[in-house]
Amino acid sequence: MKTPAPKEGKGESERSSTSRAGGSGSKEVLRLDEVSKIYKMGTVDVKALDRANLVIRKGELVVIIGPSGSGKSTLLHIMGLLDTPTKGHRYIDGIDTTNINEAQQARIRGHKIGFVFQRFNLIPSLTALQNVELPIILCGSCERNGKARKTLESLGMSNRLDHYPSQLSGGQVQRVAIARALVNEPEIILADEPTGNLDSKTGKEVLEILSDLHKQGRTIIIITHDESITRIAQRVVRINDGHIEE
């Protein structure tokens, strides 16, 4: 049976928590206000982002989609505190992080952002378990407590803990990368073309995992050029020539 759409004016609390995950009542985890990024190429200015506005709320699953050269990587770097805006403001968890230095960016990144990359970026000389332990060690103040093992187990990898990346399939490698992104319990998971290097069946499995994590309440942003990924989105944001449209 279909659940009827909530009537206008009905209180947030009366709606089911799953259908309201990441709704307008949830807190803001990321805000970009009129963010521009201009790369200087000799005498030429390249405007990779042009007054972009974006608000991401806790519990949302947002797919940001755009063609090659539209500014996706630039946007990802700014959202993930890997780069700073040329103009405008960036807020993480309500805190203005526009003009902070690299050390401060790294500290916030370690606590609040989990990255999943197209090329996985695991360390080949470390086992699955050691790769997932790495962010906890780097964070310093983060708890260990067997969390890396538990996170891998929750992703169906309990019998692959001591395997090296070269001994795992593409889908298993991406599970390890997802576990590594989750282990410090970040506010936001940023996934950059997470299925780009996987065959379509394995890609579907990885999308299922991301979708399940969203159902568990995680905030997930997927950046892609692949329209088929929008099927799992709760919200689709388009980027074209550095402009954000919804």
The only residue of 26, 36, 73, 211 in contact with Mg ion, by rule CB under 5 A: 73
The only residue of 39, 137, 158, 199 in contact with ligand ADP, by rule CB under 6 A: 39
Which range in 70-78, 153-161, 204-212, 214-222 contacts ligand ADP by CB under 6 A? 70-78
| 118 touching Mg ion, by CB under 5 A | no
87-92/28-41 β-pairing: antiparallel
Minimum distance, C-beta of residue 34 to ligand ADP, in the bound complex (Å): 18
Distance CA 22, CA 27 (A): 8
Contacts made by residues 194-199, CB under 8 angstroms, sequence distance 24+:
194/116, 194/117, 194/118, 194/222, 194/224, 195/224, 195/226, 195/229, 196/118, 196/224, 196/226, 197/118, 197/119, 197/120, 197/170, 198/170, 198/171, 198/174, 199/170
| 69 touching ligand ADP, by CB under 6 A | yes
If contact means CB under 5 to 8 A according to the sort of partner, which of ligand ADP, Mg ion, none does residue 138 touch?
none
Query: Nearest 5 degrees, angle CA 105-CA 106-CA 112?
Result: 85
If contact means CB under 5 to 8 A according to the sort of partner, which of ligand ADP, Mg ion, none does residue 41 touch?
ligand ADP
| 73 touching ligand ADP, by CB under 6 A | yes
Q: What does the per-residue mask of binding to Mg ion show for 29-68, with x meaning CB under 5 A?
A: ----------------------------------------
| 44 touching ligand ADP, by CB under 6 A | no
Minimum distance, C-beta of residue 196 to ligand ADP, in the bound complex (Å): 12
113-116/95-96 β-pairing: unpaired
Q: How far is CA 208 from CA 99, 212, 215, 226, in A?
A: 37, 6, 10, 16
| 26 touching Mg ion, by CB under 5 A | no
Q: Compare residues 72 and 109 and give the one whose CB is closer to Mg ion.
A: 72
Minimum distance, C-beta of residue 242 to ligand ADP, in the bound complex (Å): 7
| 72 touching ligand ADP, by CB under 6 A | yes
Return the bridge partners of 47, or none. Answer: 38
Interface size with Mg ion, residues (CB under 5 A):
2
Which range in 40-48, 135-143, 148-156, 193-201 contacts ligand ADP by CB under 6 A? 40-48
List contacts with Mg ion (CB under 5 A): 72-73
